[in-house]
């Protein structure tokens, strides 16, 4: 992954150094399990634990000849040992080490992502409370519909993120797994005790059944859960972009002193952070497709998935870590313009209250069709002539004979639309 999108702690997890350390830890734990069974001498295990090491440049040198990364690794480690080196990789196949270590690395990555998600949810909840009653225009199909609040918009995001956290947790537990069951998953040359011992020590779940590899539907679900989180972030960013349009200008991404929006136009203040989220979400969804393609392997395994996973597993976690932190910062520092929100509500001449008038006429005995047909021509006139909708209604005796001034005032009062905001917040879980 590009350094531009790699945060330090997540980058460390996917470094060659950490990957080989995970491999070595898996190898050593397997030997510990063998020793517990009395199959290899404890003194040899102690020597391995004390002396086993590796040099990345040496691994690369050996791999240039062997064309096999795990063989190169085990040979490089063996060079740091004496006769006890014969117990390195004893009874194991390459993927016993690689898949189990992958599970361990993903577990490390997941801890960062869990923290990111919780922090993000808290930021959204705080902003939602801050703007709980900040009235603004609700839009459907891009057209003014009825009043809502900016807080409700954010509460919707919060509920979505909480669902995403649940999905991610389920998928994360799926890949926080190991397998040490041999070449085709039968435990022919290594007993199940070794698998359970290693997984317990690494804090992983021992997969119930596997072939030479862990089932890749687990990894597909994992990547898909992260791609879906990225898609939610894109959705939230798209909302910010829409509300930052010059003709709307209800929110703005923070624009720092000295920041430049355009090389040609000095006035430009663009929602580049939210646009960045859209681009990265596209990459994430591409990784999801690749993960789905990796599910179908030949028989007990082939390595068609391996080259893809070397890219998509680290890069997806790295990108999601970046996206969650960057968008959290965007939201935390978002400029909200309540006066513009309220001003924009008047841009459609009061038409946003048409349903309230419709329902009041129905309450007074009109059929729905009669009321609708009475009101709709006046909505068209207000649009076409850009004139006040209420004034047109008040010129029609069919309406004024039915609705009093008090009732008309009530119909055109935006506060009516906010009467259930508290209940919605309680449902969502924002106190």
Q: What integer pLDDT is reported at residue 265 of this predicted model?
A: 56
Q: What is the CATH number of the domain that holds 400?
A: 1.10.40.30
What would the mean pLDDT of 187-210 be, rounded to a whole number? Answer: 98
Q: What is the CATH number of the domain that holds 149?
A: 1.20.200.10
User: Which of 288, 313, 342 is a domain's end point?
Assistant: 342
Look up residue 407 and give its two tokens: 């009732």
Question: pLDDT digits over 50-97, tens only?
Answer: 999 999 999 999 999 999 999 999 999 999 999 999 999 999 999 999
C-alpha closest to that of 120 among 10, 232, 216, 227 = 232
Gap between the Cα atoms of 32 and 10, Å rounded: 29
Q: Are 333 and 357 contained in the same domain?
A: no
C-alpha closest to that of 113 among 230, 221, 204 = 230
Q: Are 179 and 217 contained in the same domain?
A: yes
72 is catalytic: no
Please pick, among 15, 170, 262, 307, the residue that the annotation labels catalytic: 262
Q: What is the CATH number of the domain that holds 52?
A: 1.10.275.10
Question: pLDDT digits over 379-412, tens only?
Answer: 999 999 999 999 999 999 999 999 999 999 999 9
Please pick, among 141, 246, 263, 267, the residue that the annotation labels catalytic: 141
Distances (CA, A) of 336 to 131, 247, 254, 279, 324: 9, 15, 10, 24, 20
How many domains, in total, are found in the chain?
Answer: 3
DSSP-based helix, strand, coil % in the chain, nearest 5: 65, 5, 30
Domain that holds residue 36: 10-90
- Residue 416 in any domain: the answer is no
263 is catalytic: no
- Residue 430 in any domain: the answer is no
Beta strand segments in 132-211, E: 135-140, 143-149, 177-178, 205-206
- Residue 426 in any domain: the answer is no
Q: What integer pLDDT is reported at residue 262 of this predicted model?
A: 46
Q: Are 356 and 241 contained in the same domain?
A: no
Q: Are 327 and 356 contained in the same domain?
A: no
Residue 321 pLDDT greater than 60, yes or no: yes
Q: Are 290 and 369 contained in the same domain?
A: no
- Residue 5 in any domain: the answer is no
**Burial class of residue 412, CB neighbours in 10 A (0-12, 13-18, 19+):** middle
């Amino acid at each position: 992954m590009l350094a531009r999108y790699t945060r330090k702690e997540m980058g460390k997890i996917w470094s060659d150094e950490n990957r080989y350390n995970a491999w070595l830890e898996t190898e050593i734990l397997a030997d510990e399990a063998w020793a517990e069974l009395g199959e290899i001498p404890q003194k040899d295990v102690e020597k391995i634990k004390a002396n086993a090491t590796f040099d990345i440049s040496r691994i690369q040198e050996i791999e240039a000849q062997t064309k096999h990364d795990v063989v190169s690794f085990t040979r490089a480690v063996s060079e740091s040992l004496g006769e006890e080196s014969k117990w390195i990789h004893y009874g194991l196949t390459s993927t016993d080490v690689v898949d189990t270590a992958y599970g361990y690395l993903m577990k490390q990555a997941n801890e960062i992502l869990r923290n990111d998600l919780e922090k993000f949810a808290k930021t959204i909840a705080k902003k939602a409370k801050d703007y709980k009653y900040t009235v603004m225009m609700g839009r459907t199909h891009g057209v003014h519909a009825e009043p809502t609040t900016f807080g409700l918009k954010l509460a919707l995001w919060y509920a979505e993120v909480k669902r995403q956290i649940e999905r991610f947790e389920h998928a994360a537990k799926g890949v926080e797994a190991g397998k040490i069951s041999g070449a085709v998953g039968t435990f022919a040359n290594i007993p199940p005790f070794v698998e359970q011992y290693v997984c317990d020590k690494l804090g992983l779940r021992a997969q119930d059944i596997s072939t030479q590899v862990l089932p890749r539907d687990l990894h597909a679900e994992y990547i898909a859960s992260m791609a879906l989180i990225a898609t939610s972030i894109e959705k939230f960013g798209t909302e910010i972009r829409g509300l930052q349009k010059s003709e709307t200008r209800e929110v703005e991404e923070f624009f720092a002193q000295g920041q430049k929006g355009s090389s040609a136009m000095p006035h430009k203040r663009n929602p580049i952070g939210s646009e960045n989220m859209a681009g990265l979400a596209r990459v994430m969804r591409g990784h999801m497709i690749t993960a789905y393609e990796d599910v179908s392997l030949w028989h007990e395994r082939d390595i068609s998935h391996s080259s893809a996973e070397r890219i998509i597993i680290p890069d997806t976690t790295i990108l999601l870590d970046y996206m969650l932190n960057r968008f959290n910062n965007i939201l935390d520092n978002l400029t909200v313009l309540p006066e513009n929100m309220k001003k924009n509500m008047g841009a459609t001449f009061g038409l946003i209250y048409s349903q309230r008038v419709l329902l009041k006429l129905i309450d007074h005995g009109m059929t729905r069709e009669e009321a609708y047909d009475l009101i709709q021509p006046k909505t068209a006139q207000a649009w076409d002539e850009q004139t006040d909708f209420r004034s047109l209604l008040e010129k029609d005796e069919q309406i004024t004979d039915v609705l009093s001034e008090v009732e008309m005032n009530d119909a055109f009062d935006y506060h009516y639309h906010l009467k259930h905001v508290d209940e919605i917040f309680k449902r969502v879980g924002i106190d």
